[in-house]
């Protein structure tokens, strides 16, 4: 579930800001794209792979992800994790709007149960397909990320 805080139209295309809620065991595979990101962990425990480095991020952790750096992340907790994601230039909010589910507060019991379920392999595959075919993301293996 996502809550887009700023879209490119709000910032003259400079950046977008999205609050992302990751289901337990949600995985974003190691990937590279032509945007710079910063992630701020609001809730939960998220394992990041940044090139060859692994980091366990908890609330209050701030990560700077430069353009072209391979990165991936997984919610390793048993509850949803919440991340504030800043991307420059803007455009990533379109990806989140297309594939995420908007967060409507207050969240009802059905939405809470849905958030606590890991995503299906089909859901993960769809996200990867759209990211690679529409948004210029390249999914990489750890060995290929160091040479790209």
Q: Is 87:15 a contact under the CB 8 Å cutoff? A: yes
The predicted-structure confidence for 48-79, as pLDDT tens digits, reads as follows 999 999 999 999 999 999 998 999 999 999 98
CATH class of 2-143: mainly beta
DSSP 13: T
The predicted-structure confidence for 84-93, as pLDDT tens digits, reads as follows 999 999 887 7
Which pLDDT score is estimated for 108? 64
Q: Is 48:23 a contact under the CB 8 Å cutoff? A: no
The predicted-structure confidence for 83-125, as pLDDT tens digits, reads as follows 999 999 988 778 777 777 665 555 666 766 666 677 777 877 8
Which pLDDT score is estimated for 128? 79
What pTM did the predictor assign? 0.78
């Amino acid at each position: 579930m996502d809550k887009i805080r700023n879209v490119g139209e709000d910032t003259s295309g400079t950046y977008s800001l999205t609050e992302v809620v990751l289901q337990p065991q949600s995985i974003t595979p190691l990937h590279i794209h032509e945007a710079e990101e910063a992630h701020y962990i609001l809730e939960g425990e998220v394992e990041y792979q940044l090139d060859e480095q692994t980091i366990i991020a908890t609330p209050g952790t701030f990560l700077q992800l430069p353009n072209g750096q391979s990165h991936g992340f997984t919610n390793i907790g048993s509850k949803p994790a919440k991340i504030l994601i800043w991307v420059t230039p803007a455009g990533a909010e379109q990806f989140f709007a297309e594939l995420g589910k908007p967060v409507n507060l207050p969240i009802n019991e059905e939405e809470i149960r849905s958030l606590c379920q890991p995503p299906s392999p089909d859901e993960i595959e769809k996200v990867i397909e759209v990211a690679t075919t529409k948004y210029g993301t390249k999914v990489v293996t750890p060995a290929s990320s160091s040479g790209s």
